[in-house]
Amino acid sequence: MANKTSKSKHVLRSTKWFGRRDRDGLVHRSWMKNQGIPHDQFDGRPVIGICNTWSQATPCNAHFRELAEHVRSGVLDAGGFPLEFPVMSLGETLMRPTTMLFRNQVSMDVEESIRANPFDGVVLMMGCDKTTPALLMGAASCDLPTIGLSGGPMLNGKFRGEDIGSGTHVWKFTEMLKTGQMNESDMIDAEACMSRSAGHCMTMGTASTMASMVEALGMGLPTNAAIPAVDSRRKVLARMAGRRIVEMVHENLKMSKILTRDAFENAIMVNGAIGGSTNAVVHLLAIAGRMGVKLSLDDWDRLGRDMPCLVNLMPSGKYLMEDFYYAGGLPAVIRQIGKFLHKKTLTVNGKTIWENSKDAVNYNKAVITPLDKPFKPHGGIAVLRGNLAPRGAVLKPSAATPKLMKHKGRAVVFEDIDDLHKRIDSPKLDVDASCVLVLKNCGPKGYPGFPEVGNFALPAKILKKGVTDMIRISDARMSGTAYGTVVLHTAPEAAEGGPLALVENGDTIELDVARRRIHLHVSDAELARRRANWKPLKPHADRGWVKLYCATVTQADQGVDLDFLVGHSGAKVGRESH
Ligand code: FES
């Protein structure tokens, strides 16, 4: 019964389940037949897992049940046997304390679900921020033929004659509410106008950035990044992914042939050209770690440093993902920066990244600006170091205020997020616009979970003066939809005893982005004195996931994976089922 109709030259993994003529083979097939599956589906055709993060609690992925049907049709078109399976979903807007606490947990769910089941290839359905890295990480640790399929962005938000962007306008509206420029009923109107179709955030936030990374890494089909969720071409893409994964199984085209060091370097450069989210830094480091590809923070700075930002999208710019798609999407960007890229990296359709993009057309030069007239001269991520961040911190220059990129100011310190909430809007807060706001204990272990609070709103009394940006430093992340002169991912974090833990009110902090420097003007002797008095935080949990996470999570410069998950074990299963 093994591989009767298979075009594969190799014996398929699924044959070890469905191709058997013994008791186990009977068990494997018989129970599947209760779903109405005809016997000929077990004739050795590729079994394709459709890994679905559908959940009504993850609104960005709530259309995935329908989208999965198109993948399924594609698998059937190509003579495969589709099996959809759920994994834990991560909805950015509802989950507490932060989805990032669970990214690695989902990656474990994905890895073990793939390995334990008779899949020959997998389509990963991802959308909301963390679902993309979590699925890629888990799948990378199994290394089967795999295609990433993003769910697509929402249509542009439309509010009172203006285009509004998810996330980006949340920050704007929140500030307007604080200053009285908006009232609560305006806010409720805006809510509906912002999220008016299926899909994920339609700014160049983390979801759109990671969908672009899927395409730039070669893990998604061309145009994966930008087709709106409700555009019929997204359904076609899903169907094509279903067809293509069957061929990939026949070709034995595994993730490890695609996710090479060159592919990661391309993705970092593309991230610069699209002005992508700082969150891509930790996610790509973690995915590379699963593939055994050496990637470091310094690669981010080196490869992104001179990459101009070509894409004029919120939060740094004006337009939204729908406009980006109509302008030509990611292939049009890749074509323009081709001279920087490794052109021969392989992608899931069997062609190189350059073959996929070399003829792409830019239909709107306001949205995708030309290389010689870029939207912003620097799109990459700046990696800062100094006595405040010995293992690095990051800043997104394209989202920062130019005049604050070199600045010295007095520290105003918040010990943790509760302290911040308690005092940030107090009229008694001793702060002016030249100060540097410092937030501690919001890193991977400190919060715990590494939340997106690094772009916290400015003190009300500063906002009321019309000031819109100040330097903020933390060990947290920032939403990809946010903007500002925000130093993030400071490593080691305060909860690990990093120097951030030692900053006190009134210290002087100097930021010099051009020199990639962040310095705390306090003597080594004084820092040693403070360190001697520093006390670690009490443990956040004495059982369960949070305990395991806090005990094993790595720091931001290492991708915030759990230390024992780094690397991969392949898809081999050591033992029979019974
Ligand atoms: Fe899901 Fe932004 S909340 S992508």
Residue 159 bridge partners (DSSP): 162
What lies within 8 Å, CB to CB, of 199 at 6+ separation is 60, 63, 127, 151, 152, 153, 154, 155, 228, 229, 230
Nearest to 311 by CA among 334, 342, 293, 295: 334
Does residue 95's CB lie within 6 angstroms of at least one atom of ligand 1?
Answer: no
- Going by the DSSP 8-state scheme, the letter that residue 381 receives in this structure is P
Q: How far is residue 8 from each of residues 19, 239, 522, measured CA to CA in Å?
A: 15, 21, 65
Question: The dihedral of CA 170, 174, 176, 177: what is its sign?
Answer: positive
pLDDT at 311: 97
- Do residues 522 and 499 lie in contact, with contact meaning Cβ atoms separated by under 8 Å? no
- Do residues 566 and 289 lie in contact, with contact meaning Cβ atoms separated by under 8 Å? yes
d(CA 412, CA 418): 15
Does residue 253's CB lie within 6 angstroms of at least one atom of ligand 1?
Answer: no
Count CB atoms within 10 A of the CB of residue 265.
19
pLDDT at 578: 66
Helix (H, G, I), strand (E, B) or coil at 304: helix
Q: How far is residue 444 from each of residues 134, 185, 331, 487, 491, measured CA to CA in Å?
A: 16, 37, 35, 16, 10
Distance 58 CA to ligand 1 centre (A): 8
d(CA 343, CA 353): 6
Query: Which atom of ligand 1 is the closest one to the Cα of 93?
Result: 3
Does residue 205's CB lie within 6 angstroms of at least one atom of ligand 1?
Answer: yes
* Single-letter amino acid code for the residue at 368: I
Could you say which residues of the chain have pLDDT below 50? Answer: 1-4
d(CA 402, CA 415): 28
- Do residues 102 and 90 lie in contact, with contact meaning Cβ atoms separated by under 8 Å? yes
- Going by the DSSP 8-state scheme, the letter that residue 364 receives in this structure is -
What lies within 8 Å, CB to CB, of 56 at 6+ separation is 62
Ligand 1 pocket test target in 54, 98, 99, 200 with most atoms within 8 Å of CB: 200
Distance 367 CA to ligand 1 centre (A): 22
Residue with the nearest Cα to atom 3 of ligand 1?
Answer: 92
Question: The dihedral of CA 140, 142, 144, 148: what is its sign?
Answer: negative
Q: What is the pTM of this model?
A: 0.96
What lies within 8 Å, CB to CB, of 327 at 6+ separation is 362, 363, 364, 367, 368
pLDDT at 420: 98
Residue with the nearest Cα to atom 2 of ligand 1?
Answer: 201
pLDDT at 395: 95
- Do residues 241 and 174 lie in contact, with contact meaning Cβ atoms separated by under 8 Å? no
